[in-house]
């Protein structure tokens, strides 16, 4: 009898926990005033520098307002592909998603910096880890 | 007499040294094949991510072919100002020059990465060290 009661209690706690986690948002963004600084009508596609926490610059991509909003609501980097003319979840097909840790905006409100955790084999479609794998000049 | 001779000798050595340094190139660029990958007719203004060796991303600016060539011939970052519609030596008035250590190009040949040594008080016209000083979102 006691074991049954314990089981019921545990089940209730688990069920309550599950309900709680369903009610809570999966991702809890902390958005500041600065997020509204970007004038999307003036700059519909804002270049975003994509950097790992280690410091490595992985790529440069373009962000539409929709891509920006999806990025901060989902926590994964979304861009706008100029060549394919469509919204793009980075890594949707390759699995090389970019979990976004932080977003910064520049002084002119026309460039973004995404600090990301790169998943999978890297950022570049060539198979290289970063898109900036070629040195063209050095001092 | 010995002191005079010593003075003359030192002067000659200094003069010779000065002549040598005038004859030698101020800067010796090492440019690879990849430098010719950028199609300036297709992309007249290429965005350049500007990063310090420490990893800090300082700014994003645009580079014309002339700005690119000046950068690698002078060793200091030149950009093209879209708002002022003119070529721009970064730090020309403020003194906050950027000595360029390395230039990288991305996989699509339409973005550059300048690894620089920031001189003066920083990269941003606001007085902040980096232009990306505002956090707009964090996970």
Tokens, residue B96: 């906050």
User: Per DSSP, what are the bridge partners of residue A138?
Assistant: B30, B102
H or E element: which one contains A13? Answer: helix A2-23
- Strand A86-89 with A98-105, pairing: unpaired
**Which of A31, A37, A113 is the closest to B132 by Cβ?**
A113
Report the pLDDT averaged over residues B15-44. Answer: 57
φ, ψ for residue A50, nearest 5 deg: -110, 120
Statement: residue B61 has pLDDT above 60: yes
Residue A60 CA to residue B134 CA, distance in Å, equals 19
ipTM for the whole complex: 0.77
Tokens 């973005």 found at: B111
In three-state secondary structure terms, A26 is coil
Nearest CA in chain B to A135: B104
Do residues B64 and B70 lie in contact, with contact meaning Cβ atoms separated by under 8 Å? no
Query: What residues in A contact B69, CB-CB < 8 Å?
Result: none
pLDDT of residue A111: 96
pLDDT, averaged across chain A = 82
Angle among Cα A63, B118, B88 to the nearest 5 degrees reads 70
What are the extents of the domains in chain B? 33-118
The answer to whether the Cβ–Cβ distance between A103 and B135 falls below 8 Å is yes
pLDDT confidence bin for A73, thresholds 50/70/90: very high
Q: What predicted TM-score, i.e. pTM, was given to this entire model? A: 0.77
Report the pLDDT averaged over residues A68-96. Answer: 95
| CA A58, chain centre distance (Å) | 14
CATH code 3.10.20.740 for A33-118? no
CB atoms within 10 A of CB B6: 10
Half-sphere exposure of A90 (CA within 13 A, CB side): 35
CB pairs under 8 A between A and B: 144
φ, ψ for residue B88, nearest 5 deg: -150, 120
């Amino acid at each position: 009898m006691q074991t049954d009661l314990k089981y019921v209690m545990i089940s209730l706690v688990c069920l309550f926990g599950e309900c709680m986690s369903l009610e809570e948002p999966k991702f809890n963004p902390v958005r500041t005033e600065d997020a509204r600084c970007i004038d999307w009508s003036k700059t519909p596609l804002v270049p975003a520098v994509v950097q790992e926490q280690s410091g490595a610059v992985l790529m440069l991509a373009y962000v539409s307002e929709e891509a920006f909003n999806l990025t901060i609501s989902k926590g994964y980097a979304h861009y706008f592909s100029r060549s394919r003319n469509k919204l793009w979840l980075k890594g949707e097909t390759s699995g090389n998603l970019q979990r976004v840790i932080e977003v910064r905006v520049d002084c002119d409100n026309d460039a973004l910096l995404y600090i990301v955790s790169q998943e999978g084999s890297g950022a570049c479609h060539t198979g290289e880890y970063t898109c900036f794998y070629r040195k063209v000049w050095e001092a």
